[in-house]
Structure 1
Amino acid sequence: MTGYDVAIVGAGMAGASLAAAIGTRARVLLIEAEDAPGYHATGRSAAFWSETYGGPGVQPLTTASGPFLQAGGFLDPLGALHIGRTKDAAAGDAFLADFAGSGIALDRVDPARRIPGLRPEWTLGIAEPSSTYIDVAALHAQYLALARRAGAALVTSAPLHMASRQGGAWVLQAGGATCRADILVNAAGAWADAIACLAGAAPIGVQPYRRTMIQLLTDPPAPADLPLVVDIAGGFYFKPTADGRVWLSPHDETACAPCDAQPEDLDVALAIDRLEQVVDWRVTKVERRWAGLRSFAPDRLPVYGFDARVPGFFWCAGQGGFGIQTAPAAAALAAGLLLGCAPDPSVAAIDPARYAPDRLVALA
């Protein structure tokens, strides 16, 4: 029976980045249920990096990830503009208060100067110039390559069928193979609670939510210098593509079971309706539509650390829609916890206790 130090269930961004972070210091197996890694949340990202996305509890991880992503060439300039109407003034004030002292540059601006065709009632604007595009596919591919070069093994089309703690190690059956591992990492995204139950751990309430995205052609075309535009009240966001198209989401959150998420016609129509309430552009064609799952713990913070009740079971889950933009820092933080070593300097100032699974016991 093949033996490993660490078996990671899930080879999306969370699992791949952690495998890359520990691969030179442990024998690692990546177990992926799908035919290829990144099929679900990783492959369906809206592909932007924003320090405010996910809220102030997530921001330290996003900010700490910035230098790695920038140095690797994974980020391109974009900028973000949070907009609202008069009735959203309190939401704008709360947004600024949430990030006061964070070091993020946030400035009140006239949104009509940045968004051509903006309808006159949208008068509130807060610019976040540090926001960027992020090359999700390239980042995921690099993590998989780094893990492979470090000696990590990857098996695909191998859903985990059994996880049993025997003699101080895990005996795992995935696909048609059996192996042993000292530590089992739950990086299964929307399936995190199901994997926990399979391993005899208590679920912590990780809930998947469907999020819809569509790609549009508009008349006039979206200008090349359009920023990421985000409704301060949480009703939509949209961003330009390099060829004048628009990626648009109605910011929907529909609770569902773990699945291969597909877009609903109603959510696509809702997205277009909300866009037309913001700008006077005419939608000429819906070119693509897709949906992904964003999976959250009850308090909307990610979960990193060993389960206090099940030896050798490590959580790396609940990363919502921010798992990609926080991946470098999250992997560094989780690697230190998993290996029991000093944290990487990039995350030394982040308290891992705020993301520990034990905090959720009272919420279960």
Structure 2
Amino acid sequence: MSRFDFVVIGAGIAGASLGAELAGRGSVLILEQEESAGYHATGRSVAFWEETYGGKVVQPLTTASGPMLRFPAPDFAPAPFLSPRRTLYVGRAGEAAARDRLMADFAGRVDLRPVDPAALVPGLRPEWTVGLLEPDVCDIDVAALHQAYLRRFRQSGGELRMGAGLLSAASDGGGWRIVTAQGAVECGLLVNAAGAWADHAARLCGVAPVGITPLRRTVVQLRVPSLPSPDLPLVMDLGSQFYFKPEGQDRIWLTPHDEEPSPPCDAAPEEMAVAQAIARFQQVVDWPIAAVERKWAGLRSFAPDRAPVYGFDPGQPDFFWFAGQGGFGIQTAPAAALLAASLLTGDSPPSSIAALDPAPYDPARFRG
């Protein structure tokens, strides 16, 4: 039976990034239940790098990840993963207080500028008078980032097994015996990077769940021939009812910002959410819609306090949580993976994340 120093459950952006950071420090196996890596949340993301997204507890991870995404090492990727976008928060007259709270929350941390939203978005309907610009926001090339981590993982000696879903695992105090759909393996430390399946995976390992809930997010691709420019900012509602961004010429990606609880599954969009997204979009801009070209849904997984869960389980010290990344797992991936790798190995964190405090992400906060 094969034995590894680390076994990571899940090959999405969480498992791939952490696996890549661990692979040079020991033998690592990533187990993926699907036949392709990143099939669920990672492959369905409308990803952007936005420092305010996820709130103050997530912002340090996002900020620390920025330089690594903008200037990747030449042996990791040949080009940046980020391209300029900007975010424009918009609201009606009664939502100025929401704008002011956002500015206060991130004062001294993030560049935020009150603006006239109509000056940035042609065709904005006149009642949308409140605007706040976050100028440093960027699009992320998710596929390139995910593949770069998987490539580094393999080049560093890591092993990836597809179609190897977790069936059970048991710890004897000196390691784990893990039964998968492709047979059994052993390891010293087990890492739960199973995304929407994180609590389910914990139960299969005899570990108490922490309350990670998958929430469905619906996305629609619209063809909008009158789109003024593909370089417009991402437009996000201060009231969290929608956001949309150009996706190439004459197309946008739109979501109603839905968060419907769901069991872990191959998520599919619901027609009500699609209709709601389009109705909200038409209330914001006067751009005619030519066609609904695509629609899909993904699961974003949150712990009860909506902060990520990184660390050893206090009741099972050879079980490590790397889950609960919500909708910000991609924009925080570089820093989160380095932080988790330092916690797992006991190595000093690199200078790029030395200022990060792991305490807000510790699973011990859910253990009473």
| Coarse TM-score class (shorter-chain normalised) | over 0.9
2:88 aligned with 1:81, yes or no?
yes
C-alpha change, 1:94 and 1:177, in structure 2 (3 Å) is same
2:204 aligned with 1:204, yes or no?
no
Contact 1:222/1:246 (<8 A) preserved: no
C-alpha change, 1:167 and 1:57, in structure 2 (3 Å) is closer
Partner of 2:217: helix, strand, or coil?
Answer: strand
Matches within 5 A, 1:33-52: 33-52=33-52
Paired AA for residue 263 in structure 2:
A
2:323 aligned with 1:317, yes or no?
yes
Distance apart, 1:243 and its partner CA: 2.0
**Structure 1, unaligned runs of 5 or more:** none
Matches within 5 A, 1:1-364: 1-72=1-72, 73-102=80-109, 104-166=110-172, 168-362=174-368
Distance apart, 1:177 and its partner CA: 1.3
Partner of 2:290: helix, strand, or coil?
Answer: strand
What is the aligned length?
361
Partner of 1:224: helix, strand, or coil?
Answer: coil
Contact 2:229/2:249 (<8 A) preserved: no
Contact 2:214/2:301 (<8 A) preserved: yes
TM-score, scaled to structure 2 = 0.97
Distance apart, 1:222 and its partner CA: 4.5
Paired AA for residue 40 in structure 1:
H
Deviant stretches of 4+, over 4 Å? none
**Identical amino acids, percent of aligned pairs:** 56
Partner of 1:282: helix, strand, or coil?
Answer: coil
Distance apart, 1:101 and its partner CA: 1.8
Partner of 1:125: helix, strand, or coil?
Answer: strand
| Aligned equivalents of 2:339, 2:155: Cα separation in 1 | 21
| Aligned equivalents of 1:204, 1:98: Cα separation in 2 | 27
C-alpha change, 1:224 and 1:176, in structure 2 (3 Å) is closer
Distance apart, 1:346 and its partner CA: 1.1
Distance apart, 1:167 and its partner CA: 5.3
Paired AA for residue 249 in structure 1:
T
| Aligned equivalents of 2:106, 2:227: Cα separation in 1 | 33
TM-score, scaled to structure 1 = 0.98
Output one character per residue of 1:42-90: Cα deviation in whole Å (capped at 9) or x when no partner.
0000021111111111000000000010013100011110110111111
Output one character per residue of 1:222-246: Cα deviation in whole Å (capped at 9) or x when no partner.
4122101100110000000122210
**Structure 2, unaligned runs of 5 or more:** 73-79
| Aligned equivalents of 1:225, 1:39: Cα separation in 2 | 28
Partner of 2:335: helix, strand, or coil?
Answer: helix
| Aligned equivalents of 1:208, 1:97: Cα separation in 2 | 30
Output one character per residue of 1:140-170: Cα deviation in whole Å (capped at 9) or x when no partner.
0000000000100000011100101135110
Distance apart, 1:10 and its partner CA: 0.2
